[in-house]
Amino acid sequence: MRTGIVVTVTTADRDRLEAIVADRNSPQKHVWRTRIVLATADGLGTMAIMQNTAMSRTAVWRWQERFCEEGVDGLLRHKTRPSRVKPFGPEVAGRIVALTLAEPPGETTHWTGRAMAKAAGVSLRPARLALARASAAPHPNLQALQRPAVYGEGARHRGLYVDPPAHAVVLSIDEKSQIQALDRTQPGLPMKKGRAGTMTHDYKRHGTTTLFAALDVLEGKVIGRCMQRHRHQEFIRFLNAIEKAVPAKKAVHVILDNYAAHKHPKVIAWLSRHPRVTFHFTPTCASWLNAVEGFFAALTKRRLRRGAFVGAVDLQAAINRYLADHNTDPKPFRWKPTPTTSSQPQAEGTRRWIQSTSTAQKDWS
């Protein structure tokens, strides 16, 4: 033991030290510090303590001195040391934050953390800390979506989803265009224990197809047709298919987006010949109000993304099989978003709005 250091361990201190060693949740740094003191109290020399604890001579001496000065509590407390690098002053942080209001260097469009650190003459970490403390983030580009306004404009669609009118069918219609028939260059390996299923990164293209789909909101069934192109002619053909599929005595309310083919003059003429069909267009930049988008996401995830198709005909057959399988066990659509109270139409008001829209459905033309 170091000359001039006398370690005296009382009964209470020994019980406390042994409890620290016996506790499985004790940090290891506390355990080996405690072992040094217990070995010293048992009369072991410095070399024996170094062998038992795998610590250096200076570490043994340091914690013997700490115990003599502060007792058991000194072993459990870690004294922080000042950093060798002086921290930057507030003027450096202010200069970094001020750069967020300046133009970025060169021909770049926005600041990055490294570019800002280079311009301020500091490393990346202090630049990030300064920006975080000032709650400044110059690199993201926030594209705000005014959801309250969109909910207000789309209240009619929510009314159709929540309370469909009696003796009517509510259909959500959209197109999933440019579906590629991709064939992998090699067959994927199946999943087995310890390995996930594999799929090659390269593929061969064998044409495309467009899926026109109409989701029955009340029942969850989907009417779908695969066509080669995405024009108003194909859209009218799909409307004719819907006209045949829906019973003649029921009105048809169609929710769809503002795609140009949906407002083509020939489509308007088709509507005039079929007065039981009413179009309800979603607000601009709010195609997410279309319930059929969820079906497209499920189709992509469950059937298309990992599929291999040798041609467009094979792709269309796979889509048709998926539609038939989906319609065997459909799930009705449930509206989940909850807009503000001011944008929630009552059921009676929704019915009055549907009636007024049915008589004035051609005003938008």
The whole-number pLDDT of residue 357 equals: 42
DSSP string, 324-352: HHHHHS-----------GGG---HHHHHH
State the greatest distance between any 2 C-alpha atoms of the chain, in Å, as a whole number: 108
Q: Count H helices, E strands: the chain? A: 15, 5
Q: What is the CATH number of domain 150-189+199-359?
A: 3.30.420.10
pLDDT in tens, 164-203: 888 899 999 999 999 999 998 888 888 888 888 888 888 8
Give strand pairing partners of 251.
Answer: 168
pLDDT in tens, 296-342: 999 999 999 888 899 999 999 999 999 999 999 998 887 766 544 44
245, two tokens = 């599929």
Q: Which of 101, 131, 98, 95 is nearest to 113 (CA)?
A: 131
The whole-number pLDDT of residue 308 equals: 87
Q: pLDDT below 70 — which residues of the chain?
A: 1-5, 79-80, 83, 139-155, 336-365
Q: Which of 137, 219, 225 is nearest to 177 (CA)?
A: 225
- Report the distance separating Cα 248 and Cα 168, nearest Å: 10
- Report the distance separating Cα 334 and Cα 196, nearest Å: 34
What's the Cα-to-Cα distance from 344 to each of 151, 154, 197, 218, 284, rounded to whole Å?
9, 10, 46, 19, 19
- Report the distance separating Cα 275 and Cα 308, nearest Å: 43
The contacts of residue 287 (CB under 8 Å, 6+ apart) are: 174, 257, 293
Q: Return mean pLDDT, the chain.
A: 82
Give strand pairing partners of 224.
Answer: 213
Q: Which percentage of the chain shows pLDDT scores above 90?
A: 35
Q: Which of 67, 119, 124, 129 is nearest to 93 (CA)?
A: 129
Residue position matching structure tokens 């870690």: 78
Give strand pairing partners of 254.
Answer: 171, 279
The domain segmentation of the chain, as residue ranges, is 11-76, 90-133, 150-189+199-359
The torsion angles phi and psi of 205, rounded to 5 degrees, stand at: -90, 135
The whole-number pLDDT of residue 356 equals: 42
CB 214, CB 248: distance < 8 Å: no
Which sign does the torsion angle of CA 97, 98, 104, 105 carry? negative
CB 219, CB 330: distance < 8 Å: yes
